[in-house]
Amino acid sequence: MGTLNHRRSSFWSKTPILIALTLLLSACPKPPQEALDAAEAAVLAAEGRKDCAGEKFAAAEALLEEARAHVAAEEYEAAERKARAAERLAREAQEQADETWEDCQRRLEAARRAAEGGTQTQPTEVEQETPEEDLKLTTVLFPYNSAEISETSRQALETNLRWLRQNPDATILLEGHTDERGTSEFNVALGERRARFVRDYLVQRGIEAERLSTLSYGEEKPVAFGQSEDDFARNRRVEFLPR
């Protein structure tokens, strides 16, 4: 009887410790496996149509790789954010491919035949403007919480417009970005609005829409990592990336 009482006493004396250990273990950060699985599934589902998915499929793959790298570094919050963004882009890539599938297949077939020497694309007559001008593409910045631009940014956009006219064979990816303030969903939408604002501006001035594609990373690709207003301003941008 004395031994039984001793065991009961010992068990109850250890119970608080066991409960504390359980709570401690449950509170430890864990890899965002659900978000990673969802992102991998979305990327895998879109892979079969990636040739017609524009830049979004490649961006989704890159973000998924970044999410895995964050998991390896035990940076689980960043990993989950990247994985969620990768899933979103992969789904958008598949939707884009589905919407443009037939036209895309015709373009791919024409490109294949051209590569085999069956046809040659005739150069389109395009107005040449100041060919002697040494122009470079530049990033267009945006005000806080806005998809419209200042006069200074408009001048940068005009410079890029002249570059596009000088390089009529170039195609451009317009990457929209935001600072870190706001929710992830809001920033993705804002980055997309900024990229589309730039595309519409250029199309209205004669640049073929087929030469311009858009992609939003929201807050996921900052170029400045501080917390100052100057840092935030540098991250609110649309980048011009020749493809």
Query: Class of 140-242 per CATH?
Result: alpha beta
pLDDT at position 7: 59
pLDDT tens per residue, range 114-153: 888 755 555 555 555 555 678 899 999 999 999 988 888 9
pLDDT at position 81: 85
pLDDT at position 52: 83
Mean pLDDT in residue range 29-38 = 88
Q: Is the pLDDT of residue 238 over 70?
A: yes
Name the pLDDT band for 56 (thresholds 50, 70, 90).
confident
Question: Would you list the domain boundaries of the chain?
Answer: 33-114, 140-242
Half-sphere exposure (Cβ direction) of 112: Cα atoms closer than 13 Å: 7
DSSP per-residue codes, 70-108 = HHHTT-HHHHHHHHHHHHHHHHHHHHHHHHTHHHHHHHH
